[in-house]
Structure 1
Amino acid sequence: MLYQIGTLTLDTRPFSADDVNRSASADFAVKPLIGAMQAREFMGEGDDTLTISGQLLPFKTGGLTELEVAHQFRKSGQRLPVMRGDGKMMGWFVIESIQERHSELMRDGVGFVVKHQIQLARVGPEGAASSIIGALLSLFGVIGR
């Protein structure tokens, strides 16, 4: 296994990946100071995106069914856990976009070679915001009185 996106497994076949790009950032509030460099206050984690690219050979090894599963995840907006092949949990992600390119079209309109690119954005796990709010309210004694 190369990557696991929810129940979707990317491996060497039938649904393969050959390139992964990750882009992560942090958010800072810039505060101007007189006679000094601007100060930056850490505001939290910024965007964290994964782009997984690969190539399918549907007439030799398949993979179109798995590509359709990825489209269903995208359409539903479902939060999915992502795990790398070495067992590292990458976090919870949603599929923002999928690009596919069919080349060497066969008689049914499907490409002999199908290149795909799946763009994922990191999100918090389901219910994370409500559990944080509940914890904060309990700190101030609002809940349970």
Structure 2
Amino acid sequence: MLMSLGLYVFQLKSAPISKIDRTTKQNWAVTQRVGKRPATQHIGPSDDTITLTGALAPEITGKDIELETLRDMMRSGKAWILTTGTGQVLGPWIILEIKETRRHLTNLGQARFIDFTLSLRRYGEDQTSELGAPIDSAPPDLRLALGNQQQATSNVPQSGPPPRPSRRPVSAERSEQQSAQVPL
């Protein structure tokens, strides 16, 4: 695994990344002063962006569907947890832009190579309401498998202890036994 965004895994067989660029900024307030240089005051973090660059070779590795899965994630308007291949969790990120360049086209117009660039921006740690559901970032085949599994388990009756037979009160049983013993 090179990196993951939600459940979407960047790896050599899906969407191999060849380059990662990260830019981190800080906010500084500037106050003009008479006869002195401006005063600056640190007011906190600013943008943190990552650009992932890679290439698909549909005949060898990665298919068009990989970029469509990422586009679906982008269209959802949700943030996704970004994790490096070493397991470092970088927090929630949104997909700002996906660029692709198709080259070396076949006579049917299919690209032999697809270069892509994915632009991400860090999402606020305190904004958890817009985090994407992990299943929505899974590859289509995994989503289908998980959906089928959920359907199968919803059709299975709930397990639990068998129903207990209803018991009549002890006094009712005794009165039946006594009436059965009384000779007519």
Q: TM-score range by the shorter chain?
A: 0.7 to 0.9
Hey, what's the Cα distance between the residues in 2 that align with 1:3 and 1:111? 25
1:53-132 aligned within 5 A: 53-125=53-125, 127-128=127-128
What displacement does 1:12 show?
1.8
Which has the larger displacement, 45-54 or 100-109? 100-109
Structure in which a larger fraction of residues adopt strand: 1
- Residue identity matched to 1:24: T
Hey, what's the Cα distance between the residues in 2 that align with 1:107 and 1:62? 20
Hey, what's the Cα distance between the residues in 2 that align with 1:126 and 1:38? 32
Which has the larger displacement, 16-25 or 5-14? 5-14
Q: Is the 8 A contact 1:30 1:38 kept in 2?
A: yes
Q: Is the 8 A contact 1:82 1:90 kept in 2?
A: yes
> Which residue number in structure 1 is paired with residue 38 of structure 2?
38
What displacement does 1:126 show?
6.7
C-alpha RMSD over aligned residues:
1.7
Change (3 A) 1:33 1:117: same
Change (3 A) 1:6 1:104: same
Unaligned 5+ segments in structure 2 are 130-184
- Residue identity matched to 1:87: G
Q: Is the 8 A contact 1:79 1:126 kept in 2?
A: no
- Residue identity matched to 1:86: T
Give every structure 1 segment of 4 or more consecutive aligned residues whose post-TM-superposition deviation is greater than 4 Å: none
Q: Is the 8 A contact 2:52 2:117 kept in 1?
A: yes
TM-score normalised by structure 1 residue count: 0.82
Equivalent pairs counted in the alignment come to 129
- CA deviation string 1:60-97 (max 9, x = no partner): 22332221110101111111010111111112111000
Structure in which a larger fraction of residues adopt helix: 2
TM-score normalised by structure 2 residue count: 0.65
- Residue identity matched to 2:13: R
Percent of paired sites with the same residue: 26
Unaligned 5+ segments in structure 1 are 130-145
